[in-house]
Chain A
């Protein structure tokens, strides 16, 4: 078992909802349209899966719950409430837990009234953070992506969400969306569209913004189109230039660039931290429980992944077995390298101490020594990577100091290359 020697953080709970209204052209996530009946069965199985974790009698302490998808907002507020209730029953969830629901504009209700009712019920069920899949504020781009909503839907939904009392809202934006060759030409460049998008989004004043470059993933409609030569992909140069411009604009508007793809408003008067507490767990080696089909979890040094077929998922649970497909026990090196490459995603980078704390020893003196000399120990451990790391530093991609290492802004553009030094 590979547990860190020092910090004990609270766990997060991820719940995967693999349903959507229609599959988007770029989407490689485990998600597909499904009937109400299937959704019902799935939620029943999910409740049962949570129950399978009850043997530990609330041994796992959690301070975040995250409904990801797919489109979790396709579930009824009652279903969400039942799941949250069951989670609270099974895990030791803190009173101030961050409970996020991914919601897609256009899936919350027929009209303003219905949307308001649904959001209010979700709020009452305990959801205190909404993550809206906006992706773009350009209707033509939204169509290219295969989204079902328009920019007007976004504006309407966020207004209603505010009225329903949501004071922690995140919005996703996708940049570098390829052009479809058959489309009529657009007046703006891809970069200009993204800049307009981000400005419109900032105008809606979300507390948190995630910004991703579109990636062509195998198995998506876009991928097929690219293979047939129907897509005009965005060049790396334009992608990076867009990204850097967006980072600049967000900074000017008071957003902190706290992770490669994530931006948060500074703490509010009420001292709410608008960074995503849940996602931070992926970047600081915290434990997280993965619930639902295809979900990944990390508990006490073990990584596991649930089966990705809904049928298998349900049948496994009916047989009283956790639907886990793969379990992997991290070695010392796994945990150290993961802590480095996930930690590097953060603005703060990785502190040596956070990595070397995974070095094992039965001798408390050695543990103490590692803790007190984490910089030396770290570079001894990564002796083979040091020379190249220093080259990256000399070229302005990396900052190496006495506490740890972190990317510069240009380092983010080539982050994989640098991370690969440490795996």
Chain B
């Protein structure tokens, strides 16, 4: 019998928190390739940050073996997918490596916006989808309703969807049987010319870049010369094998299989997700479809904090980049913050993760500036500039117009929150395109909204307005002309370039006021008055003053309790270390990121 019949390549797709990683854990445990005592919680989430946040950013893939009730042994290749909107492209490429997907729906929560987003991605790749109801061990599970919701909202037959609890292991065997039945075996010709899809890669200190691949046609083995079809670069294969999830070297990988390839590749950017690998000597003619270059949507400045070395930050960023093809950076300098880097990210979460890793893995103290999108500035002389740093915006007199990126935002929410979401989106210059009732109580809102409005604190605002019930999925659609101006901030009459932001002209005054008020709260009192001004061009549009301090005295030493007083003074001193000096004004480092977190309620 054809070996392909006993292979199943699949992904698990789910909304955050619906239990994808827990299910993966159970599968790995059940199919016996990882010793139970080596099981960490959520095995596939191998970064600390991922485990803490309960989300998966980097992919992991693993090969499971399962003896089915029909007496046959099956190879199940579980291709994990990252669980966040920022990584849609990566998700789509891992899905492309599969023939089917297990759709995990939380039986207590039902269908969410991201569930939908991922289902559409899976359908785009022609995958068979097996819906599964998770968290059935909870009293609040409502399987019948959720079944109906899946059918109604997604259009999948959920009548036979297995009921499981990834936490307790309940129903897992049944689910595996169903998986073998529903998800088709891979197709492909091992004797054809090599066509292998890169769906992930990471850098290993000893082996160089390790590529995760799905072979569609042909075979690959150690010693082969391979060619990356997007770059045309050739490499010699030094090792191939399976992921169990550790690396298990093998003779060869052939059509239909999932595994890894090493080839002394120096950085992950040379083994870009979505690219097709073929043999240099006998290449295939056409690459697999769907390759896209990584495109940074969000930028921010990263600067060494006081006492931190520029070189250390640079080293760390380089190390991160080796492993993350979607992250890029270049040196920049700011009058206020000195030498640093302008960094590009797929989205906000991607940015948060990188910044957190700098602190956590590299123990670096950095200042990050406000995130910015990329503006297309059309100059009067016809030139088009990409501006991702507000302080680089040319003088208004030279600019014909500015275009900003617009995203399509799909928000799913219980119907009682529709009103407050609409007012939020309206405040953020969103245009309602369409609104649909998915079920009687669940609504999906489709907005077109400038990305610039989404990147500050849109998630937080959405969460707080809906008590966490709304979910968001967004995707870049186009650039659109918009009336935008640069808002500058002056402290003690000195322009602080790192605080400049690009805002819609009609919001300049209110944003300027908001920022000044916020800074007034953030900046501590000085020995003198500190004026805070917001300006557009030469025109001051808002002003606040941090008064000179009047009083900072604690009268008593309680009956000789010197320690109490000392703790107080030590705390005061420690607070000062997180400050940044601008001329004679001291600004806490958080000012650069906090300043635009304006409460929409105000």
Contact = CB atoms under 8 A, between A and B. Distances in A.
A394 to B, nearest CB: 9
Contact of A414 (B549, B558, B563): B549
Given A416-B554, A417-B549, A296 B561 contact: yes
Interface stretch (B382-390, B458-466, B568-576): B568-576
Contact of A413 (B550, B558, B559): B550
Interface string B534-563: 000000000000000111111111111111
Contacts of B570: 420, 423
A247 to B, nearest CB: 13
Contact of B572 (A16, A303, A305, A417): A417
Interface in A278-299: 281-282, 288, 290, 295-298
B161 to A, nearest CB: 52
B468 to A, nearest CB: 28
A292 to B, nearest CB: 10
B546 to A, nearest CB: 14
Contacts of B572: 416-417, 420
A420 B566 contact: no
Contact of A342 (B556, B557, B559): B557
A14 B560 contact: yes
A212 B569 contact: no
B551 A328 contact: no
A412 interface: yes
Interface string A339-366: 0011001000000000000000000000
A331 to B, nearest CB: 12
A337 B567 CA distance: 12
Interface string A14-39: 10100000000000010000000000
A303 B562 contact: yes
B562 A342 contact: yes
Contacts of B551: 236, 239-240, 413-414
Contacts of A391: 527
Contacts, number: 94
Contact of A282 (B550, B560, B576): B560
Contact of B560 (A29, A297, A392): A297
A303 B569 contact: no
A14 B553 contact: no
B549 A337 contact: no
Between A213, A236, A423, the greatest number of chain B beta carbons within 10 A of the residue's beta carbon is seen for: A423
Given A328-B563, A391-B527, A420-B576, A413 B557 contact: no
Contacts of A288: 560
Interface in A201-246: 212-213, 215, 236-237, 239-240
Given A342-B557, A397-B527, A413-B551, A419 B562 contact: no
Contact of A423 (B527, B558, B569): B569
Contact of B555 (A260, A295, A417): A260
A298 B564 CA distance: 13
Between A68, A215, A236, A334, the greatest number of chain B beta carbons within 10 A of the residue's beta carbon is seen for: A236
Given A260-B555, A397-B527, A423-B573, A416 B560 contact: no
Nearest to B556: A212
Contact of B568 (A212, A236, A414, A416): A416
A303 B562 CA distance: 9
A413 B552 contact: yes
A250 to B, nearest CB: 15
A261 B562 contact: no
B568 A341 contact: no
B554 to A, nearest CB: 6
A415 B562 contact: no
A423 B561 CA distance: 16
B364 to A, nearest CB: 23
Interface string B347-390: 00000000000000000000000000000000000000000000
A296 B555 contact: no
B560 A420 contact: no
A295 B559 contact: yes
A281 B554 CA distance: 18
Interface string A298-316: 1000010100000000000
Given A395-B527, A419-B569, A420-B569, A261 B555 contact: yes
A328 B528 CA distance: 39
Between A215, A239, A282, A397, the greatest number of chain B beta carbons within 10 A of the residue's beta carbon is seen for: A282
B523 to A, nearest CB: 15
B167 interface: no
A338 interface: yes
B478 interface: no
A334 B569 CA distance: 12
A288 B552 CA distance: 28
**Interface size of B as a range:** 20 to 34
Nearest to B551: A236
Contacts of B549: 414, 417
B309 interface: no
A337 B552 CA distance: 18
A68 B559 contact: yes
A412 B549 CA distance: 12
Given A337-B566, A341-B566, A420 B573 contact: yes
Contacts of A261: 555-556
B483 interface: no
Interface in A320-337: 328, 334, 337
A296 B553 contact: no
Contacts of A412: 553
B562 to A, nearest CB: 6
Interface string A396-423: 0100000000000000111111011101
B30 to A, nearest CB: 53
Contacts of A281: 560
A298 B560 contact: yes
A213 B552 CA distance: 12
B565 interface: yes
Contact of A236 (B550, B556, B565): B550
B550 A392 contact: no
Nearest to A285: B562
Contacts of A239: 551
Given A341-B569, A423-B570, A414 B560 contact: no
Given A14-B560, A392-B527, A420-B576, A341 B552 contact: no
B563 A417 contact: no
Contacts of A290: 559-560
B569 A296 contact: no
Given A236-B550, A240-B550, A296-B561, A423 B566 contact: yes
Contacts of A414: 549-553
Contacts of A297: 560
A172 B13 CA distance: 71
A417 B556 CA distance: 16
Interface in A135-186: none
Nearest to B563: A303
Contacts of A298: 560, 562
Nearest to B568: A416
B555 A213 contact: yes
Nearest to B572: A420
Given A236-B550, A395-B527, A338 B557 contact: no
A393 to B, nearest CB: 11
5 shortest interchain CB distances as A-B pairs: A236-B551, A420-B572, A416-B552, A236-B550, A296-B561
Given A261-B556, A296-B561, A414-B552, 16 more contacts: A213-B555, A240-B551, A282-B557, A290-B560, A297-B560, A298-B562, A303-B563, A337-B566, A341-B566, A391-B527, A413-B551, A415-B552, A417-B549, A420-B570, A420-B576, A423-B566
11 contacts: A240-B551, A260-B553, A288-B560, A297-B560, A305-B563, A334-B566, A338-B562, A341-B565, A342-B562, A414-B552, A414-B553
Interface of A: 14, 16, 29, 68, 212-213, 215, 236-237, 239-240, 260-261, 281-282, 288, 290, 295-298, 303, 305, 328, 334, 337-338, 341-342, 345, 391-392, 395, 397, 412-417, 419-421, 423
